[in-house]
Structure 1
Amino acid sequence: MVVPSSPIALVGLFLVGVVLVIWCVEVFIEAVAQSAVSLGISGFFLAVVLAGVDLENAVLGVTAAFVALPDLALGTVFGESLFVLAVAVGLAGILVPFRMDVPRLYLLVLVLVPVPAFAMSIDGTIDPLEGAALLALFVPLLSAIFWRERRSETTYLLADEVQEVVGLETEPDAGTGTGTKAVNGGDEPDGRADRALDLDLDLDLDLDELVPSFEHRSGLFNLGVAVLATIGLTIGSGITVVSAEGIFVALGISGLAFGATVLSFIASIEELALTVEPVRQNRPELAVGNVVGSTVFYMTANVGIIAVLHPIGSGGDVLTVHWPFLAGCLLVVTAMLARGRVTRLGGVVLFALYVAYWIANYA
């Protein structure tokens, strides 16, 4: 690939690559979902696959590792993890503080799931064998969560688009009283938070409106579209990673810092919709599910597959900057969920941690 030398051209190429990746992911999800429905594949299995894996991050990370840029790949893991915890949960707390009871099992998973990757980081390298172990850990963890969900009345790990695919309702169950309500910092009655803040946000920040519908197509046709979308993903991720390398080399910054901040921020924007919007619709359990599922994926499968493709250097800033900030955000989020209240003050603290994280990356 011929890479332009102009910084402006590099930035333009980088943005084109990111948009192409995100759009192709949306097309891929739509095509696979409709194909699964048409071919009679279990909606539960579909939910596991689509809700548990962040394809944008996975594709960008794998591409970066494949072209021997493991620092950039690892940066996207930390950056997107922190974006979900600090920005998405923080914004939800600031805009629509809410109460909910989170199963202790999920709190335990949220706190403990980064421990294996952290332990492997201490010696300064995560090698392919350790990466394979992390990758193998992902399936039983996600399976255990979904096994519990099958036995529970409240579903926590379905994102909005998955609910629409499998035909579930996104509105709270007002009749049974089993739905979880968003409240204004815990001080307002259920359902009054949106009116108190007079919010009318459109947080659908992805490219859904530009994605064609495959609802009336055959299953095989949709599978073909999914294959084409995969090719587009490959091209877009290649453009993004190569141009990203040109940018951070031109600016004299590390690939780890660029991946953890700029690349992960742009690639994670849709996480706002998957976290804040369910809270505004009085379904905060969906937001919590997105946070738990994403953290499980980032800290096991995502790190694992990158390490399998290329050993990851995990010393230096990884231990002194990225792990401490991730731990801090995890503790704040877990503490709020354990108390059953996500508050504005907690949201502000999370935002402050994210801003400090950016500063620490470029200090």
Structure 2
Amino acid sequence: MDYLLLTGGLLGLFFGGEALVRGAVGIARIFAIPPLLIGLTVVGFGTSTPELLVSVDAALQGVPDIAIGNIVGSNIGNILLIIGLSALIWPIRVVGGTLVRDTAVMMAAALALVPLFWLGEMGRLSGTLLLGGLAISLVWAFLTAAADGADDGVRRMPIWQALLWVSVGLAALMIGARLLVDGAVSLARLHGISEAFIGLTVVAVGTSLPELATSLVAAFRRQSEIAIGNIVGSNIFNVLGILGLTAVITPIPVAGRFLVFDLPVMIATSGLLTAILLTRPSIGRVAGAALLVAYAAYVWAAR
């Protein structure tokens, strides 16, 4: 039964990723919006839904380390693990003004956590400030989208069909992520693996499975803008949206290790991605392999 859950989860994730990418590209073409912007909003935010559910539930149940660790760990994994794997499949090439804008927002969001974590608690005021930052970034993104949009001459699908693909994709991603995490947790307990280890690995990676599936499918389909936009958008939404909303719902104590270790790693990985994207024409397979090695080193150091 556990293996059936795992198999069903994988099928749901990859079917959902395929449907979501197809619908997102369709929406981009209908409205002459750059695929990168669609990846940053519809895809990036939509695939962050598991992080939202886990963090809010953990905070309400009095487990703040999971609430914060889920977000910080997911952002690190998004860059090092998911972009690394995607680049191994197909070099990621992204150009345009939207890249400069949104990587700047991602870095600003990461750096904004330093003074907030320093306070020792993410209160409702801190959460409100983060949500305000999200609103500003969305308005900025949509106001500048028209300047980057272009008609590529490709036949457009009807709007209802594009929205249907997006809806089906998001639903399949959510169901697939849940099945895969449930199956992995059950198998881990069956084989006597500690629940602490399950939380650090299955929960953190499990909530990032929609991003993983979506970016891998986008890489297979040669949709580099969706692959990278999904990650950058997800990282922005994780910090400004999910952590902000969670803190507004209930204050979250911040453990010291996040300020001295995990957050600096998240800032460093965000800076590394920004530097690569703004100084290189693509993220090739060698860079992808290096990102994967860096992720393995982080997991080993975080034990």
Using the size of structure 2 for normalisation, the TM-score is 0.70
Is 2:87 the partner of 1:93? yes
Which residue does the alignment assign to 2:204? 264
Deviation at 1:318, TM superposition (A): 0.3
One-letter amino acid of the structure 1 residue matched with residue 256 of structure 2:
G
Pick the aligned partner of 1:321 from 247, 255, 261.
261
Which residue does the alignment assign to 1:165? 162
Deviation at 1:50, TM superposition (A): 5.7
Specify the structure having the higher radius of gyration (Cα): 1
Instruction: Describe the shift of the 1:49–1:304 C-alpha distance in structure 2 as closer, same or farther (beyond 3 A).
Output: same
Deviation at 1:100, TM superposition (A): 2.9
Q: Give aligned-pair identity as a percent.
A: 22
1:4-51 CA-to-partner distances (Å, cap 9, x unmatched) read: xxxxxxxx7xx89x96xx89xx7xx99xx9xxx9xxxx9x9xx65564
Pick the aligned partner of 1:359 from 290, 300, 303.
300
Aligned equivalents of 2:52, 2:135: Cα separation in 1: 15
8 Å CA contact 1:52–1:142 kept in 2: the answer is no
Pick the aligned partner of 1:52 from 4, 28, 45.
45
8 Å CA contact 1:96–1:280 kept in 2: the answer is yes
Deviation at 1:75, TM superposition (A): 1.4
Which residue does the alignment assign to 2:72? 78
> What is the RMSD computed on CA atoms of the aligned residues?
4.0
Pick the aligned partner of 1:127 from 102, 123, 126.
123
Aligned equivalents of 2:150, 2:300: Cα separation in 1: 39
Aligned equivalents of 1:68, 1:117: Cα separation in 2: 21
Aligned equivalents of 2:229, 2:143: Cα separation in 1: 14
Pick the aligned partner of 1:138 from 134, 143, 148.
134
Deviation at 1:335, TM superposition (A): 1.5
8 Å CA contact 2:133–2:240 kept in 1: the answer is yes
Unaligned runs of 5+ in 1: 1-11, 156-161, 169-206, 212-228
Pick the aligned partner of 2:112 from 116, 119, 123.
116
Is 2:277 the partner of 1:337? yes
Instruction: Describe the shift of the 1:330–1:164 C-alpha distance in structure 2 as closer, same or farther (beyond 3 A).
Output: farther
Aligned equivalents of 1:102, 1:303: Cα separation in 2: 29
Deviation at 1:331, TM superposition (A): 2.1
Aligned equivalents of 2:171, 2:121: Cα separation in 1: 41
Which residue does the alignment assign to 1:347? 288
One-letter amino acid of the structure 1 residue matched with residue 266 of structure 2:
L
Instruction: Describe the shift of the 1:71–1:315 C-alpha distance in structure 2 as closer, same or farther (beyond 3 A).
Output: closer
Which residue does the alignment assign to 2:220? 280
Instruction: Describe the shift of the 1:260–1:77 C-alpha distance in structure 2 as closer, same or farther (beyond 3 A).
Output: farther
Deviation at 1:252, TM superposition (A): 7.5
Deviation at 1:72, TM superposition (A): 0.9
Aligned equivalents of 1:360, 1:311: Cα separation in 2: 28
1:147-171 CA-to-partner distances (Å, cap 9, x unmatched) read: 222332259xxxxxx9962489xxx
Which is further off, 110-119 or 61-70?
A: 110-119
Alignment: residue pair count? 257
Deviation at 1:307, TM superposition (A): 1.7
Greater helix share, structure number: 2
Which is further off, 304-313 or 146-155?
A: 146-155
Aligned equivalents of 2:56, 2:286: Cα separation in 1: 37
Which residue does the alignment assign to 1:224? none
Using the size of structure 1 for normalisation, the TM-score is 0.59
Aligned equivalents of 2:171, 2:226: Cα separation in 1: 24
Instruction: Describe the shift of the 1:164–1:64 C-alpha distance in structure 2 as closer, same or farther (beyond 3 A).
Output: farther
8 Å CA contact 1:117–1:134 kept in 2: the answer is no
Aligned equivalents of 1:311, 1:262: Cα separation in 2: 25
Which residue does the alignment assign to 1:310? 250
The DSSP-based 3-state class of the residue aligned with 2:302 is helix
Which residue does the alignment assign to 1:153? 149
The DSSP-based 3-state class of the residue aligned with 1:341 is coil
Which residue does the alignment assign to 1:251? 194
